[in-house]
Amino acid sequence: MSENGNAETIINEGIATVTFFHPQSNSLPGEVLRKLATEIESAGTNKDVTVIILKSEGEKAFCAGASFDELMAIKNLEEGKKFFSGFAAVINAMRKTPQFVIARVQGKAVGGGVGLACAADYTLATEAASVKLSELAVGIGPFVVGPAVERKIGSSAFAQLGIDATEWRTAQWAKERGLYAEIFPSIEELDKAVLRLAQKLSLSNPDAMHELKKVFWKGTDEWDTLLIERAEISGKLVLSDFTRKAIEKFKKK
């Protein structure tokens, strides 16, 4: 994959595996976000695809969230809104695709990475897959991913992550709150479980799964506009001196 990051899809026996990558702990610059949304949308319209697996490259971090370098490069509100709309596009693609999306979380998830894990229909992880919503710590807030996180784990757990923004929560914590369906001691066991579930779903009735997904996501139709409105909030906040200084401090760690 490209050193600038990428996302690509492999389809095998009805299972579309969408994999994203970035050399900086699988962080998500705008270009990768747009490609990831396109790959998920494309798999969703493919009649040969019955289930989608979302995963990232490597054996360490699942996703480090927004790219700090790109955040620092944002010069105006329009650029900020466009960048954060990339996360909105991926979450909405996962929500609207008729197939179930299984997320395979092999390591730590931060910010937008937590949003991806929550936007999946079924998420499996390793015991190393701690979570953190670090946005407030860099002067922003988990606005775009918030609806997906709150829907998955409830408002109380979402508030805990959003407020105590520098603290990691364990994979066990995430499992107890419904973010992860199961956690496994190794990546090998995780991969076996992901494949087993995907193969099972690939043999299930596609129409029944499509209808069930509609039931699961009932009441989220307004997300098409809501998440863009949230992107504008983040796009405005990222321009502040407070946020610029906070991001610079984080980059030096």
- Averaged over 79-104, what is the pLDDT? 97
- Averaged over 56-68, what is the pLDDT? 95
Q: Are 91 and 101 in contact (CB under 8 A)?
A: no
pLDDT recorded at residue 3: 76
Residues 6+ apart with CB under 8 A from 26: 20, 56, 57, 58, 61, 62, 63, 64, 113
Amino acid at 148: A
pTM: 0.96
Q: Are 63 and 26 in contact (CB under 8 A)?
A: yes
- Cα distance between residue 152 and residue 191, in whole Å: 22
pLDDT recorded at residue 252: 73
pLDDT tens digits, 7-54: 999 999 999 999 999 999 999 999 999 999 999 999 999 999 999 999
Residue 2 pLDDT class (50, 70, 90 cuts):
low
- Averaged over 185-204, what is the pLDDT? 98
Q: Domain 6-189 classified CATH 3.20.190.10?
A: no
Residue 209 pLDDT class (50, 70, 90 cuts):
very high
Q: What percent of the chain has pLDDT over 90?
A: 94
- Averaged over 83-100, what is the pLDDT? 98
pLDDT tens digits, 108-150: 999 999 999 999 999 999 999 999 999 999 999 999 999 999 9
The domain locations on the chain are 6-189
